[in-house]
Amino acid sequence: MTTAPAPDTTGDSSLVVAAREGDRAAFGGLYARYARMVHGILLARVPANDVDDLVQDVFLRALPRLCDLRDATRFGPWLAAITRNRANDYYRQMRAVAAVTESLPEDEAELPASNTAPDSEAVMILAFVRSLPDAYRETLILRLVEGMTGPEIAARTGLTPGSVRVNLHRGMQQLREKLSQASLGGTIHNDSSVSRNSTAQTKTLLNRRNQP
């Protein structure tokens, strides 16, 4: 049995240093490396329709704060923390908006209905994933939706490879149980590992595209 090598993150330091000095291409390189991670962390926490805009916002927040990053080799975990904080801010802002709209007449407070009905099965699966413990749902979405390997998740987020393996294994067990109870058990293959087929099927059902 072979294990995929962890992605090389040694180049992060030089990109961070260059980005601090105003090199936009260097910051673009960091974006290319970490957009999927940011997208997945957000998708585990906020409504799917708002994720793409929030990905951009996370990187816009991170750029002027690069000078605060003491260890350039820890860019991934640092960015992951900013992403999780942005998700928390999202809900604080939503509560503030809700407090304002509560005082409006009902017809003025309503939001326009979407023209496109979401795929009910995809919505159900995403809801099941989001009902899992935080560590499981984040790792599962990074693997199943964003297509990141276990070693890549560990290298990008700062988790240990062992923690990632445990999160994937236990998370998949709990997800299969929920899918089985909802008569959707066939969506995820009964395999001890995350197979390529289950990854492709879940990505299709959730209707998400991998980010570069």
Distances (CA, A) of 120 to 16, 126, 131: 41, 10, 16
- Average the pLDDT over each of 17-31, 93-107, 126-140, 179-193 and give the range with the smallest value: 93-107
Q: Domain 116-212 belongs to what architecture?
A: Orthogonal Bundle (1.10)
Cβ burial, residue 208 (10 Å; 0-12/13-18/19+): buried
Structure tokens at 27: 């910051």
On whether the CB atoms of residues 2 and 22 are closer than 8 A, the answer is no
pLDDT of residue 139: 95
pLDDT of residue 8: 56
Q: Which range scores top for mean pLDDT: 30-34, 116-120, 125-129?
A: 30-34
Domain ranges of the chain: 9-111, 116-212
Express as a percent the part of the chain with pLDDT over 70.
68
- Average the pLDDT over each of 112-116, 133-137, 174-178 and give the range with the smallest value: 112-116
Structure confidence by residue, pLDDT tens digits, 36-76: 999 999 999 999 899 999 999 999 999 999 999 999 999 99
Instruction: Please list the alpha-helical segments (H only) found in the chain.
Output: 12-20, 24-43, 48-62, 75-101, 106-109, 120-130, 134-144, 150-157, 161-181, 196-206
pLDDT of residue 180: 84
In one-letter notation, the amino acid at residue 145 is V
What's the topology of domain 9-111?
Rna Polymerase Sigma Factor; Chain: A (1.10.1740)
Q: pTM of the prediction?
A: 0.75
